[in-house]
A and B are shown apart, each in its own frame.
Chain A
Amino acid sequence: MTKIESLQHELVELYTNNLAEISSFDNPLMNNIRNSAFESFKQLGIPTRKTEAYKYTNLEPYLTGLEYQYDLSPLSLEVNLDDIFHCDIPELATQIALVLNGFYYRHNRPLNLPRGVILCGLAEASVKYPELVQKHYGKYADEKADSMAALTTMFAQDGVFLYVPENVVIETPIQIINVGYSIKNIRISRRNLIVLEDNARASVLFCDHTMCAKSFITNSLTEIFVGENANFDFVRLQNENSNSSQISNTFIYQKAGSVTTNNTLSLHGGLIRNNIFVKLDGENAASNTYGLFLADSEQHMSTYTYIHHAKPHCTSDQLVKGILDNMATGSFNGKIYVDNYAVKTSAYQRNNNILLSGTAKMNTKPQLEIYNDDVKCSHGATIGQLDTEALFYIRSRGIAYTEARQLLMYAFANEVISKIKLDALRERIIEMVDKRLRGELAACANCNIVHKN
């Protein structure tokens, strides 16, 4: 048996032997779909290099080799929210909620949100607002699309539920901090559900952190429903320790005239795999998928996108940029799928990468499947080094080599960062990326969650 096969076996056993306990947390709706996810998981198996979408992401070294525990109920850990919420960005005046090891933290502070807006744990929501959750939960995620999504659904007991009613606009962004914090190596599963009804508007900042040097394997799945003419903007900051792995699946479903902008900033982490599925299922919907990843040592960072144009007159834009140093590896696999009746589609995709060392590796693969002629589509990918002419030009003005490199790397990264709409957040992220690129702190400036390179 290969290591992946034995892991597969172990997870199947774990699920079968503990189903009662997994299901005992207060989440009837979530329990309903566990078994079908389990069937998908068994059928698909943990991805290996033979799985097309994972050809360049070798999970084995990251997922096997260590012993992990699964916390089948929330740990009775108390954390100091003041310490953690140090991460917040004061100028943003965000509403903050903590998710600890996949469970919505019991002692989160009261939130100040507009009438009708719900932000709570998904388990809690599935009891308190069953019709709302039932209407959307499991409707956009496709466990058959990725076995790691299926795995998430099998074990997830909680996560975040955000509901924004029709016509409601949330002015200040909501910040959701996912923290891994444990005295032993653990697996974390969480499912999030975000629903924006017609004409609603919201922005969310997700921060993914590990709070200690233990190894965390996180499987996360987020479903996002964006109603007609609604607007959802989310930034994801992934900043975990090098021992940790995160495989995240995001499924976005958009109705007519809606707009989503997703900016994923992978600053640090052992393995980061982001699968992003978008379905544009109403006319004039627009999807923006942006990403920046900075990988070094033996980190692996990988992005997989699947943008499905299902209705006419929709626009999608993708820009993913990566900087890889040392022995780091990365991959970008971007698919644009245009249905035959999705005429007047505009779909753009670009992936640019810089390798700082001769041993870093990047694989990039655009994939277009277009079933009609009335489409504007472009894609491009580059893998290169820092421009030596530019480096010399900068140094010839008295700027030190390290600073010259910094200027060029920052200029490269800034194309993605500049897409972040909130000024205060963008400023803070500029600061973090700058530090990260200097190999200094890889965590928020004021935060005690720090990963040194």
Chain B
Amino acid sequence: MLEINNLYASIEGKEILKGINLTVNPGEVHAIMGPNGSGKSTLAAVLAGRDLFEVTEGSAEFLGNNLLELSPEDRARMGLFLGFQYPVEIPGVSMVNFMKTAINEQRKYNNLEPLSASDFLKLMREKKEIVEITSSLTNRSVNEGFSGGEKKKNEIFQMAMLEPKLAILDETDSGLDIDALRIVANGVNKLRTKHNATIVITHYQRLLDYIVPDYVHVLYKGKIVKSSGKELALELEEKGYDWIKEQY
């Protein structure tokens, strides 16, 4: 589904990603862990098409397409979803209007008619339940004045609406209390099928108690320095990131 080969990326001449290799197949859950500043968010942003970063070398293929050549919107329409570490507040754009536009743009891309108003509302209602979002949130402007937890839930809600094939969730757990964490993780688990895949980026092992990964990778100084099964997360938890820093 996703095949990243020797990927290098930099910002303002500063190299952040230094040769990433990663393969993700349908049905898999990958966790990417690593200390702050390792380049986890950069990797996610590069995959989603943020043009702030310049790819200097390597390739990334998504469902057989050259991902790096596509606009962010085309990547999304093909089924790539990024759950932002810091979701952006957009005053004046209502959640409802935002989601309606997104859904219909995706449908247009797939040669489908726009959703009727009632079908859209039904879909919203259904998906809101997955992340236990109250209706008042969707009546507000996108993320405006949302608490940290509400923003993260809102990311998963959008993911539920768009039903991506590959979701990259960037620190969706950070700043969440245990209840919110459980809700978010449950949401992700409910959306799992054998056809889609998830990359969970996290700093802490905690989330992985709820979303059990098939693979754990450690990203450090722009490189994946360790890859293993879920037991790697526990080992990291026990030994701390210093254990990685000492080795690399």
**Same assembly:** yes
What is the interface of chain A, defined by CB distance below 8 A to chain B?
387, 389-390, 392-401, 403-404, 407-408, 410-412, 414-415
Residues from chain B with a CB closer than 8 A to the CB of A403 are 101, 105
| A411 contact from B48, B73, B93, Cβ within 8 A | B93
Does the CB pair A407–B50 fall under 8 Å? no
Does the CB pair A398–B76 fall under 8 Å? yes
Give the CA-CA distance A118 to B194 in the complex, in Å.
74
Convert B38-55 into 0s and 1s, putting 1 for each residue whose CB lies closer than 8 angstroms to a CB of A: 000000000011110000
Known: A396-B49, A401-B73. A414 touches B92 (CB 8 A): yes
Residues from chain A with a CB closer than 8 A to the CB of B71 are 395, 401
Does the CB pair B48–A396 fall under 8 Å? yes
Does the CB pair A408–B102 fall under 8 Å? no
Give the CA-CA distance A393 to B85 in the complex, in Å.
11
B158 to chain A, nearest CB (A): 6
Residues from chain A with a CB closer than 8 A to the CB of B49 are 392, 395-396
Interface contact tally, CB-CB below 8 A: 75
* 6 other A-B residue contacts (CB within 8 Å) besides A390-B88, A396-B82: A387-B88, A392-B50, A396-B72, A397-B76, A399-B73, A400-B73
Decide if B196 is an interface residue (CB 8 Å cutoff). Answer: no
A410 to chain B, nearest CB (A): 8
Does the CB pair B48–A398 fall under 8 Å? no
Give the CA-CA distance A404 to B72 in the complex, in Å.
11
A393 to chain B, nearest CB (A): 4
Interface set, chain B 147-188, CB cutoff 8 A to A: 158, 162
A294 to chain B, nearest CB (A): 16
Give the CA-CA distance A425 to B162 in the complex, in Å.
34
Does the CB pair B109–A397 fall under 8 Å? no
Does the CB pair B90–A398 fall under 8 Å? no
Give the CA-CA distance A401 to B101 in the complex, in Å.
12
A436 to chain B, nearest CB (A): 17
Give the CA-CA distance A429 to B100 in the complex, in Å.
21
Give the CA-CA distance A407 to B73 in the complex, in Å.
14
Which of B87, B101, B158, B162 neighbours the largest number of chain A CB atoms within 10 Å of its CB? B101
Residues from chain B with a CB closer than 8 A to the CB of A389 are 88
Does the CB pair A395–B72 fall under 8 Å? yes
A412 to chain B, nearest CB (A): 7
Does the CB pair B98–A394 fall under 8 Å? yes
Convert B77-95 into 0s and 1s, putting 1 for each residue whose CB lies closer than 8 angstroms to a CB of A: 1000110100111111100
Residues from chain B with a CB closer than 8 A to the CB of A412 are 92
